[in-house]
Amino acid sequence: MTSAGPVVCFGEMLLRLSPPGGTPLAQASRLELNVGGAEANVAAALASLGRPTRMVTVLPDNALGRRALTALRGAGVDTAFVGTASGRMGLYYFEPPAGPRPGHVVYDRASSAFAEAEPDQFDFAAALEGAALLHLSGITPALGPRGCALASAAVAAAAQAGVPVCFDGNFRANLWAAWPCDPRERLVPLVERASVLLGNHRDISLLLGREFTGEGEGRRREAAEAAFAAFPKLETIASTSRQVAGAGHHRLAARVDRRDGGWQTEELPITGIVDRIGTGDAFAAGVLHRLLAGADAREAAESGLALAALKHGISGDMTLLPAAELDAFDPGDADVRR
């Protein structure tokens, strides 16, 4: 999968509000604002790495929407297909983990301008012209019937344009539980159009309605082979495996599977974690950055792991690093470079 065309990312942008580390939301007197959203994070990271990207979304026509738009433009993302509408900006509150306390997310995104949008508000055909890839995630259909219609319209337009689809599972249980539906029923038609799936054996279990009982790499390969059998268009599956030793100490490994085999990295210890949010989107960008350059499974997995690891040391949702820094990544070298 190689192309010099832009990656088109479609999904909702959000503002994140967080108290200082170690302060519970219930006791917070001030909040820090960051711009994010899964698909926007991928667009920004790829643009920073030097790949052309386009964002397709709708933002409220107010100061908060303009703040999100400024963040995209600052990252180098093409915003020609970012529309405006009446309504509100989607928000989420993030209470960072501290010591033995886990992190917590509180969503406040119901009835946002994006969640209330209709497919005809987006010119998918024009946005996908000359594109290398359409990237979207399971967060959009999780928003409700309107979100399902938006995701379906996007992948249908990609099929019409002959543009491959990358689908990131990004399963959000709280969003799916907010309305009566069967997530599998909604997700399978989208994954059927995908060439790249970002998701692990649990995501595949949800899609296929079956469990995988092996261990470690064997279970992941078994799940990948089952997904390849179920979805003929699927060419690549990428995922991470995370072990949490504490709020500031994780171990992360990455895997990329192709139909003819796969590659899994060694576990990488990550300490001194600054911000865990957005690391999955950084992984997605690192994988796509290499896949679109024609790299093999090993190179794509190692690139995804490197960018995800680097994101742990960056505050905010977005990963804005040049390709040179990704290429120079050395997990054993955290000293000052002079």
| Catalytic residue IDs | 281
Structural contact between residues 124 and 153, judged by C-beta atoms closer than 8 angstroms: yes
For residue 151, give the nearest of 29, 10, 272, 324 by alpha carbon: 10
Q: In terms of DSSP H, where are the helices of the chain?
A: 38-48, 63-75, 124-127, 139-142, 145-161, 173-176, 183-191, 201-208, 216-230, 279-291, 297-311, 323-327
Question: Given the DSSP bridges, would you call strands 249-258 and 236-246 parallel, antiparallel or unpaired?
Answer: antiparallel
The Cα 326–Cα 329 span in angstroms is 5
- Helices 201-208 & 183-191 angle (0-180, nearest 10): 100
Do residues 99 and 124 make contact, with C-beta atoms less than 8 angstroms apart? no
Phi, psi of 93 (to 5 degrees): -105, 130
Angle at Cα 203 formed by Cα 198 and Cα 206, nearest 5°? 145
